[in-house]
Amino acid sequence: MKRVLITGAAGFLGSHLCDRFIAEGYRVVGMDNLLTGNIKNIEHLFPLKEFEYYHHDVSKFVHVPGDLDYILHFASPASPIDYLKMPIQTLKVGSLGTHNLLGLAKEKKARILVASTSEVYGDPTVHPQPEEYWGNVNPVGPRGVYDEAKRFMESITMAYHNFHGVDTRIIRIFNTYGPRMRLDDGRALPAFMSQALTGQDLTVFGDGSQTRSFCYVSDLVDGIYRLLLSDYHLPVNVGNPAEISLKEFAEEILALTGSKQKIIYQPLPKDDPKQRKPDITKARELLGWAPKVDRKEGLKITYEYFKQALNK
């Protein structure tokens, strides 16, 4: 059985990746310091002999005994609420954490996939965003701690690939949603859903004309899996190109939840991207990947999860 290390294993995406790799017949080593992850997301895996867990901060030296075939680096605060509260940790996990895991990949002769983000494009001046676009990022703005941590992550990953011959993959993840998102995550979907479910008005920042593209988690995990097993080492966008304005999205959530609340508007945060839509030509051509779950279907499943989470 091949063995894979997944950092950020107790997080939203990391926990779904643990499930997928165990289902595919891998032995999974999960690693998380639980800064933003939740052990409940992976508790169901603890009885399995194919799963082991390390409570560890990857920005400190990382040692995993035994062979490793693959490393997936998904440790990082990922919502604006988190990285504005934890700017130093966000920068450290993207820089020192990535450095430590690339060193581990070199030592173990393992292939490593790092989780980058559409945020490397900043507030884009090119639409939709292809991988060749270099971005429009404010390095000293409040969001810079996340954007630049991920941009550095890509740079050091390419340096290890080119200088040390480490087998690397880089994924640029666009907005993703589904079960195991935190209700207090601060991103649009959990914010809208929790507001609708608790009888609060839905908060839209700016005039609501800014756009996002939402990909259901199972589609994203499939894209990650395919990229890991591909032969392509340059960045690849994975996301759903079905673009929607945040005002329309809030209206969709109100209709889905049957909420009688209204939409209220607040000032747009500094450097908030006005538009976000992936060009997924590379993912289609190189990985044979395209999203399958449409938003209506994905939102229904996510709504049921949030209802249960609130009741608990």
**Spatial separation of the C-alpha atoms in residues 21 and 50, rounded to whole Å:** 10
* 303 flagged as catalytic: no
**Residue 157: its pLDDT value, please?**
98
**Residue 274: its pLDDT value, please?**
86
Query: Averaged over 285-297, what is the pLDDT?
Result: 97
Which residue in 26, 53, 121, 146 is the catalytic one? 146
Give Cβ neighbours of residue 240 (< 8 Å, ≥ 6 apart): 174, 213, 214, 215, 216, 219, 278, 291, 295
Percent of the chain with pLDDT over 70: 100
Q: Which two tokens stand for residue 98?
A: 């990535």
Quick count: other Cβ atoms within 10 Å of Cβ 108?
Answer: 18
**Residue 209: its pLDDT value, please?**
93
Report angle CA 169, 175, 180 to the nearest 5 degrees. 95
Mean pLDDT, rounded, of the chain = 95
Q: Considering the entire predicted model, what is its pTM? A: 0.95
Query: Averaged over 99-108, what is the pLDDT?
Result: 98
Percent of the chain with pLDDT over 90: 89
- Is the model's pLDDT at 161 over the cut of 90? yes
Query: Averaged over 120-141, what is the pLDDT?
Result: 94
144-164 vs 87-108: helix crossing angle, rounded to 10: 20
